[in-house]
Chains A and B, each alone.
Chain A
Amino acid sequence: GENVEQHPSTLSVQEGDSAVIKCTYSDSASNYFPWYKQELGKRPQLIIDIRSNVGEKKDQRIAVTLNKTAKHFSLHITETQPEDSAVYFCAASLGGSEKLVFGKGTKLTVNP
């Protein structure tokens, strides 16, 4: 079955710096790769996603890149702010289905 590996598990940056989180997946049939942000005690919320027919997508300070050949995708956050502090999860679809396999999460801390 699908397996999603996420690194690093914790990441601490200074406000204004960039943060990069990387994920790899195993199922070559996966075609949808969302990133979720989860604040303490809250539900996961989608921040950006990418489909397999696109190599890069950007939304203001957040960007995601996808390398289908290498089966890895990354989240890039620029000009980090303290409110970016949270746990971030990558996920990959099970084949072309709506079912998602999640990574174990990255706890991002942005220090003022």
Chain B
Amino acid sequence: ETGVTQSPTHLIKTRGQQVTLRCSSQSGHNTVSWYQQALGQGPQFIFQYYREEENGRGNFPPRFSGLQFPNYSSELNVNALELDDSALYLCATPAGGNTGELFFGEGSRLTVL
């Protein structure tokens, strides 16, 4: 099983603040995706990074941005936080073997007050 570690696990911010969430993969995949899961909803695709370049983006505003580093760890940054940004943010990497399966990390739960 591919280990995907996310940090922090929980955090609380106030409206207008900025947040950075982090993700690292034990196996160092060159592809990482970020999803937002609001309470009671399915995960929604935010964007994907492949070899440090953004490779597709969902319906999220530019204040959602990301980075992928040479060691393939990744960050999700959200500026000017809004109440509706409260959600579980999930990082996912391919499980390997060209199966198409995505392996999700445990997520970072963000609460915006």
Contacts of B41 in A (CB 8 A): 104-105
Whether the pair B45, A100 counts as a contact (CB closer than 8 A) is: yes
B window 46-84: CB within 8 A of A: 48, 56, 58-59
Q: Does A98 reach chain B (CB closer than 8 Å)?
A: yes
Chain A interface extent, by class: 20 to 34
Q: Is the interface of B mostly helix, strand, loop or mixed?
A: loop
Contacts of A4 in B (CB 8 A): 42
Contacts of B101 in A (CB 8 A): 34, 46, 49
Which single residue of chain B is at the shortest CB-CB distance from A2? Answer: B45
Chain B interface extent, by class: 20 to 34
Whether the pair B100, A43 counts as a contact (CB closer than 8 A) is: no
A window 18-34: CB within 8 A of B: 32, 34
Whether the pair A99, B33 counts as a contact (CB closer than 8 A) is: yes
Whether the pair A43, B107 counts as a contact (CB closer than 8 A) is: yes
Chain A interface (Cβ < 8 Å from any Cβ of B): 1, 4, 6, 32, 34, 42-46, 49, 51, 89, 91, 93-94, 97-105
Chain B interface (Cβ < 8 Å from any Cβ of A): 31, 33, 40-45, 48, 56, 58-59, 90, 94-95, 99-107
Can you pick out 30 interface pairs between chain A and chain B where the beta carbons lie within 8 Å of each other?
A: A1-B59, A34-B100, A34-B102, A42-B106, A43-B105, A43-B106, A44-B104, A45-B104, A46-B103, A49-B99, A49-B100, A89-B42, A91-B42, A94-B45, A98-B48, A98-B102, A99-B33, A99-B45, A99-B48, A99-B56, A99-B58, A100-B43, A100-B45, A101-B45, A102-B42, A102-B43, A102-B44, A103-B42, A104-B41, A105-B42
